[in-house]
Chains A and B, each alone.
Chain A
Amino acid sequence: MRQLFSLIFLSLLSLSVSSVHPSSSSSDYHEQLVLRPLPLSALLASFNFRSNTTFSEFEARNFRLFPRSLAQILQHAGTRELHLRFSLGRWDAESWGARPWDGAREGGTGVELWAWLEADTDEEADHKWLILTNALSGLFCASLNFIDATRTTRPVMSFQPEGDHPNSTVTNMHLLYGVLPHEVVCTENLTPFLKLLPCKGKAGIATLLDGHKLFDASWQSMAIDIRPICPSGGECVLQIEQTIDMVLDIERSKRPRDNPIPRPPPGHELPCDTSKPYHSHDTCFPADYKANQDWSLSQVFGKTIKGTCPLMDPTNPPVCLQIPDSRTVYISDGVVEKKNPDRNSRCFDIPPTADFEMVVTPPSDDDAAQTSPGAVGVLQPETPLLYAERSFTGHGQERGGVQTILRNPSPDREVEFVYMETLPWFMRIYLHTMEARIAGHNAAHNASLIQQVSYRPALDRARGTQLEVRMRVPAASTVFLTYDFEKSILRYTEYPPDANRGFDVAAAVITILNSNADKDAAGGRSAVYTLRTTSLLCSLPTPDFSMPYNVIIFTSTAIALAFGGMFNIIVRRFVAADEGPEVGLGALTGRLKGRLNGLLERLRRRTGNK
C-alpha cells in the first residue's frame, strides 16, 4: 500500500517540466524503477513500464507504443483483458514483509495466464483460448501451448476484471485461467518481453535488465497486464503494463560476472563479531548482517542506466529509492535528487542522455544500534495481511493430503479471502475431507471458517479439479485448511520423460477480499491483496519403463496357460489308468506293428484280388 501511495505522491510532486522532445509531451508512456533494500542484504527492484493506446488507434492498427505483435494476437483471439505472469523463486514474507504491488503483479512459480475472452459460447471461448495460448507461446518462447483443457479452469470468485468494460461486453466475457508450474522461466522469456517495450533495452531503466542478473535473483516475477481503461469523460484507452519485480541478494550479485564462485574471503576480510571472548586471528564468529549494506547500481546490476527513453513522460521521475533519509547516497552529476517528505524515499530525475550511477553507503553505527541485526539501515517491512504455507501430508504413493497453514498476523481485524486450487486430474481430491480448523481451538470455532465453496470436479484426462473456497481467518490466529486426495495411476504413455521427478502442482492463489465492501455481492468484491503459495511436487506411482513388452508377454502367457488348463479340464474325459490305452514303449511298438500289419493285410488283399 505504502509503495503505491508514495509513487502517486511523487508523480504529483515532481515539478520538472523540462520537456526535451515536443513529441514526447503528447506520448502516454511511463516507466519507473523503484529500488527498496530489504532485510538480510536483499534488494527489491521493481521495474514498471506503462503505456496507453486509444481504442481508435488500436482498432485502426496504428501501433506506436503498443507492440504490434501482441496487438494482433489480442485482436485475433478476441481478448478483452489479458494477464500473463512469469515467476521464479518465492517471496520470503517473514523477512521481506508485504509483497510489491500487493501481490497484484506476480504469479505462482512458472507461467500463469488468465484472460477475459469475448465469446458467445463456452466452446467458442475455448477455441479462442487455444488460439491465444498458441500465439503467446510463440511470442514469448514459453510452452504456453501446453495449457490444454486439463490445465485450464474458469475461476468464479478469485479474479475480477481490472479494466472497466462496458456492460454490453461484460455479459459475454469468459474468464479462462491456465498455469504451467513446471515451466522454467529464463532468458529466452526476457528477450521477447523487452522487445515489447518502445525503447527496447536500449535506453532508460530497461538497460539494467539483463538475463544473468534477473535470473540469478532470489525471486523474480515478470508480468504483462493489458486492460481497457475508460477515464470519466475521456476516450477509452487500452493500457499495457509490463512489470518486472526482482529481489536480488546483494552479496551474490556484487560478485563480478567473470568470477561468480563464492570462494571464502580471506580471513582478514571476514566481518567478525569481535565481542566474542575467543575472537582471534584464526577464530571468527561471523557478523554477516553488517556486510553488504553498501552497494551501487553498477555493482548490483553490472551496468548503469543509459539515459532515459525519449518517449517517456518526463513528469514522473524514472528512478526512486526507498531508504531512510539517514543513509547517504551518492549519485552521478546532472541527476536531480528529490527527497520525499515521508523521509523514507527519494527519487531521481535523469537527463535524457547521461548515464545514471548511484552508490549507497553503509549505514552509520548509531543507525545499526537501534534496529535489529539483519535489518540495519533499511525500512522496516510492513507485515502482510496473511501468511500462507502449503505442503503435502502423508507419504506413500496411493493417497496423500494437502495442508495449508494460514496465519493472520494482525491483532484486531479478521481476514476474508478466496483460496483457489487448480489441481491436475490425477489428484482426485476427497471434498468431504476438506476441513478448516483453528490451531488450538475446539471444533466449535471451526464451523464458520469456510463460508462458500465452489468446486468443479475433475474428469480423467479431460479437465483438472478447480476448487475455490471463500473463508475467513480470525484476528491473530492460525487456520489449518486440509483435504485428502487419491493418486491415480497413469497410462505409461502419459508419463513425462522424467517421471520419477514427480508432477508439479500449481500454486494456490489466495485473494484477500476487501472487507469493508458490501457482503452480499461476494463475487464482485475487489481484491486488496493477493498471494500465492509455493507449488508442490506430487510423486505418483511410476512403473519401470524398461520393460513394457516383457510385461505384455508375461501377462498374456499367463492368461494363455490358464486358458489351456481350463479348456483341457472342461473337454477331456477321465478314466481309470488300466482302461486307458497302453503305456510305454511297448504300447508304441504294438501300435506300430498293428498299423504295419493292417497295411500288409490290405496289400495282400489287393494282390489277392488281382
Chain B
Amino acid sequence: MPTPNVAGFSTLRARAYLFRLPLFTRAVLAAIGLFWILGVQVWWDVRAWGALVPDKLGFATLYRLNTFPFIHLNVFHALMNALALTPLLERFESEYGTLTSLALFFGPLTTLPAFMYVAVEKWILRADTAVMGASMWVFVLLGMEAIRTYKANPYLVVGTHHIPTWTTPIALLLCVAALVPSSSFLGHLAGLLVGYICGLGYLKFLAPPERVLRWVEGKLNLLGRLPHYVSVDQKTYGRFGVLPSSGSPPPTSVALPLYPYPVPEHQAQPSRESFCEEHLGTAAGQDAKITSALQLRRDPRILKLPPYLSLLFVVVGAVWLFLLPLDQYSRRTYISENALLPGQVHTYFGGSDQNVFRAYKHEVNALAGKSNVEINNSLEPIVKGLGLKTARQNFTYHAAGRTYAGENLYAILQAPRGDATEAIVLVAAWENVKHELNRNGIPLALTLARYFKRWSLWSKDIILLLTPDSIAGPQAWVDAYHDAHDPSRVASLPLKSGLLQGAIAIDYAQEGRFESLHIVYDGVNGQLPNLDLINSVVSIARGQMGIDVALQEMWRHSDDYKDRLRTMLRGMLKQGLGLASGPHSSFIPYHVDAVTLRPFGEGWQDEMALGRVVEGSFRSLNNLLEHLHQSFFFYLLMHRERFVSIGTYLPSAMLVAANFTIMAIALWVKSGHSEGGGQATADSKTVTPANHAAERDLSLPLGVVTLCQVLSVIPLYLFNHVPESALTPLFITFALLNTLLPPVLSHLLATKTTFTLAQYDLVQCFSLLLLGMFLSSLATLNFSLALIIGLLAAPLSFVRPFSPSPTSGLKRIACAVLLNAVSPTAVLLAGALYWRLDVRSVLRDAAVAWHVTGTYSPVVVWCVWWPAWLAGQLIVLARPAPASASARRSNGAWAGDDGKVKGE
C-alpha cells in the first residue's frame, strides 16, 4: 500500500470516491442543491414553504415532514450538511440498497424525528421554532453507526476511562449545539434518538419486505436502467461482498469524513490475531479496551493518520497564534505587586533642575566625538562633585575580527540610612544601539543623579552607569557585577553595591522635545523583564505624565486586531532573534528586571517630563520590599495594556513541536512493518499492511543522523569566528555547499550502501525526534524562536522518499528545490533582503551577539534546524534499495515476536 504522504492523499482518490456515490445519495445531494438554488430567487420563499414549523403543521402541510431536510438556511448550511451527510448516507445505501433507503428516508427515518421534534417543541416547550436542513438525517445515521460501532468495540479508551463508543454522537451533538449558531439541538436530538432505535434494530419492521423489493427490482429492471443503483441483493453482502461485522471501524471514520472508506481486509483473519491480554482482572471492559486498542494499532488507517494529525497540529498551532490578539484570548495588563504603587507619588523633578540639565548638556556636547577615556575623565569629576562614589571598568571583546573595547564609568549613590544590600541601576549609554550620541540621555541621567541625592527616602542604592556603547558596555558591567566575567577581557569592579533590583536605561538621542515614549523590553535570548515593571512604567507615563507609550516600534497603535497582531509578531521576531535590543538587555539574564525608555516623535514633552517618568519609576522600585516576583516573566505584549501569558500561547509552539514527534513515532512504527506489500500498491484489495513486523537495523540511520549533527558544528564555528570581511564570501560558499551537499551524500548512500526505505524512515524518524525534542524544550525558554524554527522546519515532517517510478524523478527535483527554499541559508538571505540589511551586517551582529551577550540563537539555527533540514533533504533525494531481504527477515522476526508474546 502506498505510504501516506502529501501527494498520497490525492484528488484522484476523492474524485473516484465521488464517482462511486450510489443513486439515492446523489439524488439527495442534488435535491439539496436544487432547493438551495430555488432559495436564491426572491419571489417565492422556499424556506417558508418547506421548513418544519410546528404551528403550521396541519393536515395539508404534512409535506413539510419530507421537505424540510432538503431546505437549508444558506449555502454554508447546505454545504456542511451535505459534506456530513454524504459518506454516511452513501454507506447506508450501499448496505441496504437504494430502494430501502428511499423507502426509509421518505418514510420513518424522516417523519419519526420530525414528529418527535414537533411534539416536544409544540406541546412541551410551547415554542415554535422552524427547523430545516439535512442535519437531522446526519444524526439519524450517526446514531445507527454508533450503535454498530458499539457492538464491535464497546469502549473508547482515554487514559483510564472507558467511554462507551455509542456516546460519541452525543458528544458531537453537544459540540454542534455549542459551536454552530442557530442549530436546533432538539431536532438533532430527535434524529439521534431515532438513529439509536433504528440501530438497535427495533425499526426493522418498517423496512419494506425483501421479496417485494426484489419483485419491484425485477419488474422494472432498475439494476439495468439506473446507474449507480444499489440492488437489494447487493446489500446482503454490502458493497464488497463482506459481511458488515463486529470488525467495523471505530468512529474515526466520522472524524475524517473525507477519508476513503476503509478497506476492511484485516477483518478476514481474526483468528490469526494473537496478542497479550491480561487474565486476572476479568472485566469485560478491560478486555474490550485491549482488543480495541490492538485493533486500532493494527488498523492501517492508524498508520495513515499521523501525517494528517501532524498537519493538523501545525495548522492549529499557526492558527492559534492568530487567535491570540482577540479579546477572548488576551488579557488586560494589571499590576500584581501591590508594593509598587506606580504613580502614587508626586514627582518634583524640574524647575531649576532644567538649568542644571542645560549646563550638563553643554558639557556633554563639548565631549562629542572625544575618545572614551577623555569623556570619562571629564565626566568623573562632575559625578564626584555630586557626592557619589565613582569607579571605572575596562572591557575588551573580540568578535567577528573586531575588538569592542571601552571603559565604563559608574557611580554609586549610597542610600542614606540604607545599607548596601539592594540597588537600582540608572543606565545611560554614550551611544545607543543605532550608534547615535545619547545627547540628552547622559545629561538627564546626571541631573537625575544630582536630584536623587537630595532625597533621603531611598531604601536602595542608586547606581548611575555610563557606558560607551549600548551592548558591550552594559554586558561587561553586569557580568563583572555578578562575577560571571572573564577577567582577561573584562576588568572586575572595584566598587560594588547590593543585589540589583531593577534597571532603567535612558536612550534620548533625538534633539528637542518628544511626543511619546517607546519602551524597549526584550532581553538577550528572548528573556523578558517582569511584566510589573513595564506595567508600572506605562501607568506612570500615561496615568501621571500623560505621555503616550509605544511598544515594538509601533509608533501608531490603534488598539485593533491588526496592530495588536503586528506588535505581537514584531515582539516574537525580536524574541526569536534573541539579540540585545538596548542597554537593558544584558541585565535581564541575571534576573534583574530592566527596560529602556526611548522618547520619539515631535511633541511638547521635554526632558524634565522624561526625568519625572524615571523618577516615578525609581520611586516605585524603591518601594519594593521583595524582588519582583509576582507578575509574569513569560508573556507576549500586543498593546501597552494587553498581553498573553505563557499558558495561553505556549500550546501553539508545543503543537508545532509535537508534530515532529508524532511523525517520528509513526515512522518508527512504520519502519517496524515490512513494506512487503509495497509492490502490491496497485490493487488495494490484497494488501496486508500491519501484520508483518520487520526488525529494524539502526546502525546506519543513527550514523547518518549523527553525521548531520556533527557537521552542524562547522557552520557554527565558522560563522562565529571568521573576521567580518570574510563573512559574505563565506556565506555564499556555504550556501552553495549547502545546496550541493545533500545530493552528494544521498548519491553516496545510494551507491555505497544498501539503504532500504525502512532505513530512510529511521533516518527521518531520528532527525525528527531530535528536532521535536529540542524544539519542545526550547519552547519553554524562548517560545518565539521555537515557534519560528518549528514552522520553518514543518515541511521536513511531510517529505517522503519517492517510490522509484518514471515521474518520481521530476517530483523529487521539485521537492528538493522547494525544500531548499526553506533551508536556513535561504531563509537568512530572504530575511536580510526583506529588511534591507546586508547579509554581512546580519552575520556580524550574530557573531557579536554570540561572543558578547552569549546569544544562543546561532546554536539553535545551526545545530538544531540545519541538521534536521539536511536529513530532510536526504530523505527527499533518497533512492531506497529494494528490500526483499528485509521482508524475509521480518517474517522470521514475526514468529519470534509471537513466541515472545506468548511467553507465559
**Are A and B close enough to touch in the complex, i.e. CB under 8 Å?**
yes
Q: Which residues of A contact B (CB under 8 A)?
A: 40, 88-90, 92, 94-95, 109, 215-219, 249, 251-252, 260-267, 269-270, 272, 276, 278-279, 282-286, 288-289, 373-374, 389, 391-395, 401, 403, 405, 498-502, 504, 534-537, 539, 542, 568, 571-578, 580-588, 591
In the complex, whether B625 has a CB less than 8 A from a CB of chain A is yes
A574 to B277, CA, bound (A): 6
Q: Which of B246, B287, B290, B386 contacts A288 (CB 8 A)?
A: B386
A-side contacts of B359, CB under 8 Å: 276, 278-279, 283-286
Given contacts A286-B356, A588-B284, contact A218 B417 (CB under 8 A): yes
A283 touches B421 (CB 8 A): no
A395 touches B356 (CB 8 A): no
Q: Which of A264, A286, A391, A568 contacts B350 (CB 8 A)?
A: A264
Sample (28) of A-B pairs whose CB atoms are under 8 Å apart = A89-B417, A109-B419, A215-B417, A260-B456, A262-B348, A264-B350, A264-B351, A265-B351, A267-B352, A270-B355, A279-B359, A285-B359, A389-B496, A405-B494, A501-B626, A534-B421, A535-B419, A536-B498, A573-B278, A574-B278, A575-B279, A577-B276, A577-B277, A580-B287, A583-B288, A584-B153, A585-B150, A585-B154
- Residue of A266, A374, A504, A580 contacting most chain B CB atoms (<10 Å): A580
A-side contacts of B288, CB under 8 Å: 583-584
A-side contacts of B154, CB under 8 Å: 584-585
A-side contacts of B277, CB under 8 Å: 574-577, 580
A94 to B414, CA, bound (A): 12
A251 to B387, CA, bound (A): 12
Given contacts A501-B627, A576-B274, A576-B902, contact A283 B355 (CB under 8 A): yes
B279 touches A395 (CB 8 A): no
- Name the distance in Å between B844's Cβ and chain A's nearest Cβ: 29
A283 to B361, CA, bound (A): 10
A395 touches B291 (CB 8 A): no
Write out, one digit per residue, whether chain B residues 307-341 have a CB within 8 A of any chain A CB (1) or not (0). Answer: 00000000000000000000000000000000000
B-side contacts of A575, CB under 8 Å: 276-277, 279, 904
B-side contacts of A94, CB under 8 Å: 389
A249 touches B416 (CB 8 A): yes
Given contacts A288-B386, A576-B901, contact A395 B496 (CB under 8 A): no
B419 touches A578 (CB 8 A): no
A89 touches B294 (CB 8 A): no
- Chain B stretch 479-516: residues in CB contact (< 8 A) with chain A: 482-484, 494-499
Q: Which of A92, A286, A374 contacts B450 (CB 8 A)?
A: A286
- Name the distance in Å between A217's Cβ and chain B's nearest Cβ: 7
- Chain B stretch 425-475: residues in CB contact (< 8 A) with chain A: 450-451, 454-456
B-side contacts of A262, CB under 8 Å: 348, 451, 454-455
A-B CB pair tally, cutoff 8 Å: 207
- Name the distance in Å between A137's Cβ and chain B's nearest Cβ: 21
A534 touches B629 (CB 8 A): no
Q: A269-B352, A537-B422, A586-B246 are in contact. List 7 more A-B contacts (CB 8 A).
A: A88-B417, A252-B416, A264-B349, A578-B273, A584-B151, A584-B284, A584-B291
Residue of B nearest to A39 (CB): B387
A539 touches B417 (CB 8 A): no
- Name the distance in Å between A555's Cβ and chain B's nearest Cβ: 19
- Residue of B294, B355, B495 contacting most chain A CB atoms (<10 Å): B355
Given contacts A252-B456, A535-B419, A535-B421, contact A265 B352 (CB under 8 A): yes
- Residue of A88, A216, A270, A534 contacting most chain B CB atoms (<10 Å): A534
In the complex, whether B385 has a CB less than 8 A from a CB of chain A is yes
A219 to B416, CA, bound (A): 7
Given contacts A264-B451, A270-B352, A584-B291, contact A573 B904 (CB under 8 A): yes
- Name the distance in Å between B208's Cβ and chain A's nearest Cβ: 29
Residue of A nearest to B281 (CB): A572
A-side contacts of B275, CB under 8 Å: 576-577
Residue of A nearest to B455 (CB): A262
A-side contacts of B499, CB under 8 Å: 392, 502, 537, 539
A597 to B355, CA, bound (A): 107
Q: Which of B284, B418, B483, B627 contacts A401 (CB 8 A)?
A: B483
- Chain B stretch 346-375: residues in CB contact (< 8 A) with chain A: 346, 348-356, 358-360, 362-363
Residue of B nearest to A504 (CB): B421
Residue of A nearest to B447 (CB): A286
A577 touches B358 (CB 8 A): no
Q: How large is the interface on B (under 10, 10 to 19, 20 to 34, 35 or more residues)?
A: 35 or more
B-side contacts of A583, CB under 8 Å: 284, 287-288, 291
- The binding surface of chain B is classed by DSSP as loop
Q: Which residues of B contact A (CB under 8 A)?
A: 150-154, 246, 271, 273-282, 284, 287-288, 290-291, 294, 346, 348-356, 358-360, 362-363, 385-387, 389, 414, 416-422, 450-451, 454-456, 482-484, 494-499, 590-591, 625-627, 629, 901-904
Q: Which of B246, B280, B294, B389 contacts A572 (CB 8 A)?
A: B280
B-side contacts of A537, CB under 8 Å: 421-422, 498-499
A572 to B422, CA, bound (A): 61
B-side contacts of A261, CB under 8 Å: 346, 348
- Residue of A94, A401, A500, A536 contacting most chain B CB atoms (<10 Å): A500
A573 touches B287 (CB 8 A): no
A264 to B448, CA, bound (A): 12
A279 to B271, CA, bound (A): 104
A373 to B384, CA, bound (A): 10
B151 touches A585 (CB 8 A): yes
A184 to B533, CA, bound (A): 27
A599 to B763, CA, bound (A): 62
A-side contacts of B629, CB under 8 Å: 500, 542
B273 touches A252 (CB 8 A): no
B-side contacts of A285, CB under 8 Å: 356, 359-360, 363
* 7 nearest CB pairs, A to B: A262-B454, A500-B626, A264-B351, A393-B483, A537-B421, A395-B482, A285-B359
B-side contacts of A587, CB under 8 Å: 284, 287
A262 to B362, CA, bound (A): 25
A89 to B352, CA, bound (A): 30
Residue of B nearest to A249 (CB): B416
Given contacts A283-B362, A580-B277, contact A501 B904 (CB under 8 A): no
B-side contacts of A282, CB under 8 Å: 354-355, 358
B627 touches A500 (CB 8 A): yes
B273 touches A264 (CB 8 A): no
B358 touches A217 (CB 8 A): no
B-side contacts of A576, CB under 8 Å: 274-277, 901-902
A-side contacts of B389, CB under 8 Å: 94
A422 to B618, CA, bound (A): 33
A-side contacts of B904, CB under 8 Å: 573-575
Given contacts A284-B352, A500-B629, contact A89 B456 (CB under 8 A): no
A-side contacts of B387, CB under 8 Å: 40, 95, 288, 374
Residue of B nearest to A252 (CB): B456
A505 to B498, CA, bound (A): 12
- Name the distance in Å between A552's Cβ and chain B's nearest Cβ: 22
